[in-house]
A and B are shown apart, each in its own frame.
Chain A
């Protein structure tokens, strides 16, 4: 049976089995979502938005939809995937199931807990009704699919005037205990007025089995709030990730999403920003370092609807072997959005002849008093810079790595958590196959 049929036919059983409240709003959202998914199905290359990314090879696999969790997983198994040298809240999910023993949640000043409880507890009903699935787009069949099967994920609710002192780490592990699986985490983040939160998210396959993760995150940023969201994508070569992240911002808020794509069979990031007020800042930063036959596709959208807002987008890519990259950056400046500043930059280095990048800036500007720019470069390593470093005794391999570090440096510099910055630097060094012997 094809994956689509399998998903659709298991929907009823899923809803019944899950003891889900069939009278709730969420139930009707699910129902609508599964119908939409059934109608649309998985995107194919005929869809313009999926022209360069094919899911075919993954969809052929016989993926388990409702794996049971591997209870033997302990801290030692997951330690290396956490940022350990900082105090943080942690939400650990093993095979899609929350592991309270390994996690560190809170309800003190804010709620850092799980979506399953938010969806069922009366206390959170208003938040769920107000926010859940309100910006996840209806014409995104994969987001619909996630909505239909929403069971678990992170729920972060920060009331107004709250600085969340510790970063929050969300980790989704797949253990492969049930063979090849599909996971569909769903995160909801609501940040009140004047509040500030930092979130680090990572999906990690602990086995050699295929994992397909179809993740959806909705982030609501209220007036003057600040949100920093970091996505670490350094998974195994048998893991694929479709990440759809939707950000809705109110006036004077600042939201930044950083995406580090270092490993995976197919990584697709749909990142969308919607403005609901003036003087908003949106930052989109990404760096991809891939080799082998890995594939990353960064699809971004910033929808400027109000005046005096700005967006800054910087994506860098380093592609080796036969890896492929896609950058599709759409910026809409609506007629009312005068005095918009929208900047977009996509720089790429192709290390081997077999590597490919497709870069497509898409600017749709309907206002006349705006500053918008976009730039895209595709190049090779600078031979004269290599020679310079070699002439100082630095071997070619290390010299290459240093140059690539230098190339990606302005993206890494934007990380505001020092321990995370050092962690990302180490991951980059690992992916470039060098030991630099110092922190940059």
Chain B
């Protein structure tokens, strides 16, 4: 599904990613771990198409298509979803209206008509229930005044609505207490299928107790320095990152 080949990326002429290789098949969950500043968030932003970063070498290929020239919205339309570590607050735009716009723009890009209001409402309710989201929450301004947990849950709600092929969860566990973490993880697990894939970017092993990865990769200094199964996460939890440097 996703092939990252020898990916180099820099920001303001400072190289952050120095040759990443990653291959992800449908149905798989990959965890990317690593210390602060290792390039985890950069990797997710580059895959999602943030134009602040310049790809200097290598490629990102989704289902056979090179994403190099595609804007972030085009990548989203092709099934990439990035859950933000720090979701942006947008006062005056409700959660419902935002997701409606996102869904209908995605449909428009695929040559489909807008989803009828009735179906949209049904879908929104269904997914809100799945994530144990209060209906009142949906008419609040997007992320404005949300707690850390509410912001993350809202990210997963949007993911549930957009049904991406590849979901990248960037530090989704940060700022979550254990109950919120369980709800979010539970939501992700329910959305997982044999046709989609998930990249979990995390600093700690904690989230991986709930979203169990098939593969764990350790990122250091812009490169993947070690890959393994889920047991690698436990090893990292125990020994820290220093032994890999």
Is residue B11 contacting chain A, with contact meaning CB distance below 8 A? no
Instruction: Name the distance in Å between A436's Cβ and chain B's nearest Cβ.
Output: 7
Q: Is A438 an interface residue (CB 8 A)?
A: yes
Q: Name B158's closest neighbour in chain A (CB-CB).
A: A392
B71-A390 in contact (CB<8A): yes
Most buried by B among A382, A391, A395: A391
* B114–A387 CB distance below 8 A: no
Which listed residue (A394, A405, A412, A438) contacts B102, Cβ 8 A? Answer: A394
Residue in contact with A385 in the complex, picked from B51, B90, B99, CB distance below 8 Å: B90
Contact B104 A437 (CB under 8 A): yes
Q: Does B37 contact A (CB under 8 A)?
A: no
Residue of A nearest to B97 (CB): A438
Chain B residues near A440 (CB-CB < 8 A): 92-93, 97
Cα(A413)–Cα(B144), bound, Å: 16
> If A387-B50, A402-B93, A438-B97 touch, does A392 touch B162 (CB 8 Å cutoff)?
yes
Q: Which residues of B contact A395 (CB under 8 A)?
A: 71, 73, 105
Residue of B nearest to A412 (CB): B92
A405 to B91, CA, bound (A): 9
Q: Using Cβ atoms and an 8 Å threshold, which residues of chain B touch A62?
A: none
CB distance from A398 to the nearest CB of B (A): 7
Q: Interface digits, A377-389 against B, CB 8 Å rule (1 contact, 0 not)?
A: 0000011110111
Among A383, A399, A410: residue with most chain B CB under 10 A: A399
Q: Which of A389, A398, A437 has the most CB of B within 10 A?
A: A389
- Which 10 residue pairs spanning A and B have beta carbons closest together? A409-B92, A390-B72, A393-B76, A393-B106, A392-B102, A388-B88, A385-B88, A406-B92, A390-B73, A406-B90
Chain A interface residues toward B at CB < 8 A: 382-385, 387-396, 398-399, 402-403, 405-406, 408-410, 412-413, 436-438, 440
20 residue pairs of the A-B complex, CB under 8 angstroms, read A385-B88, A385-B90, A387-B50, A389-B88, A390-B72, A391-B76, A392-B81, A392-B102, A392-B162, A393-B73, A393-B76, A393-B106, A394-B101, A405-B92, A406-B90, A413-B92, A437-B101, A437-B104, A437-B114, A440-B97
Residues of B within 8 A of A (CB): 45, 48-52, 71-73, 75-77, 80-82, 84, 87-88, 90-93, 97-106, 109, 114, 141, 158, 162
